[in-house]
Amino acid sequence: MSFGGSVGFAMELCEKGLWDNGLNFGDNDSLEMLVKQTAFREGIGADIAEGVMRMSRKYGGEEFAVHSKGLELAAYDPRAAQGMGLGYATANRGGCHLNGGYLVVLEGLGLRVNGATTRGKAALTIFFQDLMEAASSAGNCLFTTYAVLPSFLIKNPDKAIVKMILALFPSFGGLVAFLHKHPGLLGVNAPGKVPFPYAYKLVTGNKMNIGRFLHSGERIYNLERLINVRQGLTDGDALPSRLTAEPQLDGGADSIVKFAPMLKKYYRIRGWDGHGVPKRKVLKKLGLY
């Protein structure tokens, strides 16, 4: 992903006359050799190996340097998936779709929840970020979290009842935010839908349920954030202006990531301050203070 994003950025730098590197969109003949040059840092590969962020600092083009915290984004254009945009920006690893919560799984990849709306996306992003961190720490492939999506909604997207449910889905954000504050209300197991905590319980013999599992994921996510803060990474939850100000091609004038309102709500639900730093209250709740 990083190689593809970096090559694409290098091509645009060349197209705009910012770096004469000989790379052009549509000219694929040299790409196989470019992989080797990048791996061994030979020729223009030495710059491409540094990634989009560092190339933009050297040659310019920061407004179209598509990354978050120095990590290139994955395949999903967040201008058509608002929750995925929020996830890219808030991911502790940088623009990682997995650490970012992979909300595109709701916004078209699995379900067909309206990707253009920001309603409910902050709470839903947090839910999936915490779920995926806990699932990962338990040794599971993150794609197994698809299991939490009802198969009926995936297999029958054109049924009237499914369309109605998906239209209402963003309205569940308030409930999801409430349960985030009170995970004890989820002190049950549903192996058929959320198998991870029950599997953990069977393997280890320790008490575990959905609420405890999500609480563990929240603790992990906050611990990751504390490490970033210790390393000096604050005010880093951002996206380039290409995504927040430049409309998607053929997507209409409104097809940008409406980022600031979602981020504000995200911080409030997480219990983080305006710089993306966890507040003392939430750290005490998680046993991290």
Average pLDDT in the 43-60 region?
A: 98
**pTM surpassing 0.75?**
yes
Tens of pLDDT, residue by residue over 2-29, are 999 999 999 999 999 999 999 999 999 8
78-285 belongs to CATH 1.10.1740.10 = no
* pLDDT, tens digit, 9 for 90 and up, residues 177-224: 999 999 999 999 999 889 999 999 999 999 999 999 999 999 999 999
pLDDT for the residue numbered 147: 84
Single-letter amino acid, residue 284: K
In the chain, list all ranges with CATH 1.10.599.10: 78-285
Could you report the per-residue pLDDT of 74-105, keeping only the tens digit for each?
999 999 999 999 999 999 999 999 999 999 99
- Cβ-proximal residues to 153 (8 Å cutoff; 6+ apart), any chain: 111, 162, 165, 166
* Per-residue pLDDT, 59: 98
Q: Does residue 70 have a pLDDT over 90?
A: yes
H/E segment holding residue 72: strand 71-72
List Cα–Cα distances, 6 to 35, 72, 243, in angstroms.
Answer: 11, 7, 17
Q: How far apart are CA 51 and CA 119, in angstroms?
A: 33
Burial 185-211 (b: 16+ CB within 10 A, else e): ebeebeeeebbbbbbbbeeeeeebbbb
